Amino acid sequence: MLTPTHDRAVEACLRDVFRDLAHGVHSASQVHTIFTAVMEKSLRVLCDELLEWNASSILQRVPPEILASCLQFLPLPERVRASHVSRHWRSVALAFPPLWGDIIVRSTTRSALALLDAVLPRSGLYPVDFAYFPKEPGASGLLGEIASVLHDHMHHMRTIEWPGSSDYFCFSQPAPMLEIVRFNSDSSLDGSIPDTFLGATAGRLRTLQMEYLGLPQERCPALSTVTRLRGTLPWKPAQTADLRNLFDLFPNVKHLHLRDFHRRHKLPSSPAPSSLEFLVIEASGAGIDFSAVMDGWAHERVRRIDIRAHTLRGDGFAAIMSQVQALDVTIEPSIVFKGSSDTGFTRTVQFGIGGLSPSEFNAAIASHVQALHAAQSISLLKSLTLPLSIWARLIMLPITFPALTEVTLRLPGHDDYGGRDFNFHELRVVLLQLPMLQSMVAEARADYTSIRDIIDDPILKVCQGLMMLMLHAASDHGRRVNVILRCGSEEIHIL
């Protein structure tokens, strides 16, 4: 701050300057011109002195690495503007290539092409994560011009999110650092991945995502390193001839996700790579036999399989669930079977209920469990969790669960309960069907968090009656069956 002495000195200096310049001047306009000139000159001199002081000052500034971290939070256009604030900021921006390693360009960005052309050289050899988003999905926009800019920088690209196809010539260049590529174009006119993809050389490519899965006919070294593949199958099954060599093209795939599968699509019939751990197939048609689709894949080795379909044949369901030891069935908002084994294998099958009535989708679920029994896949099942209404239908079927030790019944709410009465004879039959049963759990619906919440609910009486009958039936067979009422984290052991 100015001391009183400095304040008086500055004031006197300014007075003297103005009086000297205005001496003998009688025109008001001339006096105003003199006033403006003194103001502008004073400001210019002070700014120059301030810049000179900044350049020569030994006072501590913000460390360059902190300034670079702050600049990193700015969107790309603002990051470029900030690099021109001062010589110091520009030198910091150019000294930290990671600042330019995250490049997101939109077609709405002003001078997007010029911006990209200016920014990419600043990244030096630092790995670059690049994404381009057009104004409208599927619009080509500046793709050709952007591909020309990328062409000279493919050697240090790490991630590319591209709204077009792989036909652009920049993707014919070797990209030894490229790890992730996402092609977001779903047009069949874009064609398949060319044999010269990424210079036909193996690099670091790990993730490949294609909205239109078009693959080359011959092996491509650049694809041999892919471990995560996600693709949408062509809507015309006739275009899938190039998918039969899927496993030859991707010998190291670990995560395979196929979308819009139709029963006329033709996939490989050879064994899947031993590296495959996670398989997801989303079907767009009905009546698909997944056991035939995956016949020869040796899918028993795959640790996790997730099937999503409109409908599913029972034999295909049994083949997928052949190793499960625990099965969980839910019916909201679609029918979901979740199976798991003690060794960490999981199987999930999901299909819609459409316009089915409760009795119809209960029957559908029961028929799939019956398919497990017919395929002798039910012999390993130790734990079963399902809605009470489905259990009521299951116990009427001639099915034996030789290894099942625990049954968990999900209780519906009062408004949606469409259950039925159980009698002693039925429960005696149930125990014959469950020779190893040790515990039966009645689980309240999710919005009940405490036992107190269901004290006045009519479903509690149904549960109590069911459990008491089970106790008597168990005693009649000389067996002890633990009966448990579960609500949230609380449990009541009836016996």
pLDDT confidence tier of residue 50, bands split at 50, 70 and 90: confident
Any idea what DSSP says for residue 384? E
Which class for 10: exposed (0-12), middle (13-18), buried (19 or more C-beta within 10 A)?
Answer: exposed
Q: Tell me the mean pLDDT in the region 111-122.
A: 86
pLDDT confidence tier of residue 9, bands split at 50, 70 and 90: confident
241 pLDDT exceeds 60? Answer: no
463 pLDDT exceeds 70? Answer: no
Provide the pLDDT for residue 422: 55
Whole-angstrom Cα distance, residue 71 to residue 88? 13
199 pLDDT exceeds 80? Answer: yes
Provide the pLDDT for residue 303: 92
pLDDT confidence tier of residue 323, bands split at 50, 70 and 90: confident
The identity of residue 158, as a single letter, is: R
**Three-class secondary structure assignment of 158-210:** EEEEECCCCCCHHHHCCCCCCCEEEECCCCHHHCCCCCCHHHHCCCCCCEEEE
53 pLDDT exceeds 80? Answer: no
Q: Tell me the mean pLDDT in the region 156-185.
A: 91
CB 361 within 8 A of CB 331: yes
Provide the pLDDT for residue 417: 41
In a domain, 337, yes or no: no
User: Do the bridges between strand 335-340 and strand 180-183 make them parallel or antiparallel, or are there none, so unpaired?
Assistant: unpaired
CB 102 within 8 A of CB 119: no
Which has the higher per-residue pLDDT, 302 or 373? 302
- Tens of pLDDT along 138-149? 555 678 888 999
For the chain, how far is it from start to end, CA to CA, in angstroms?
83
User: Do the bridges between strand 490-493 and strand 482-487 make them parallel or antiparallel, or are there none, so unpaired?
Assistant: antiparallel
- Domain of 451, in residue numbers: 395-495
Whole-angstrom Cα distance, residue 239 to residue 4? 87
418 pLDDT exceeds 50? Answer: no
306 pLDDT exceeds 50? Answer: yes
pLDDT confidence tier of residue 4, bands split at 50, 70 and 90: confident
pLDDT confidence tier of residue 487, bands split at 50, 70 and 90: confident
299 pLDDT exceeds 60? Answer: yes
36 pLDDT exceeds 60? Answer: yes
Stretch (H or E) spanning 72 = helix 64-72
The CA-CA-CA angle for residues 302, 391, 330, to 5°, reads: 50
In a domain, 268, yes or no: no
User: How far is the CA of 338 from the CAs of 98, 251, 254, 483, in angstroms?
Assistant: 44, 28, 21, 24
Whole-angstrom Cα distance, residue 253 to residue 260? 20
The identity of residue 492, as a single letter, is: I
* β-pair partners for 106: 133
The CA-CA-CA angle for residues 161, 162, 165, to 5°, reads: 140
Chain centroid, CA 164 distance in Å: 21
In a domain, 307, yes or no: no
In a domain, 483, yes or no: yes
Provide the pLDDT for residue 456: 62
Q: Which of 463, 361, 363 is nearest to 414 (CA)?
A: 463
Task: Determine the length of the chain.
Answer: 495
In a domain, 300, yes or no: no
As for how many domains the chain has, the answer is 1
* Mean pLDDT (the chain, rounded): 81
Whole-angstrom Cα distance, residue 4 to residue 9? 9
pLDDT confidence tier of residue 182, bands split at 50, 70 and 90: very high
Structure tokens at 409: 């019944």
In a domain, 343, yes or no: no
Structure tokens at 407: 């049954």
CB 363 within 8 A of CB 393: yes
Asked which of 184-193, 378-387, 410-419 is least confident by mean pLDDT, the reply is 410-419
In a domain, 449, yes or no: yes
CA dihedral 82, 87, 93, 95 (to 10 degrees): 180
In a domain, 466, yes or no: yes
Structure tokens at 472: 């008597």
Provide the pLDDT for residue 446: 63
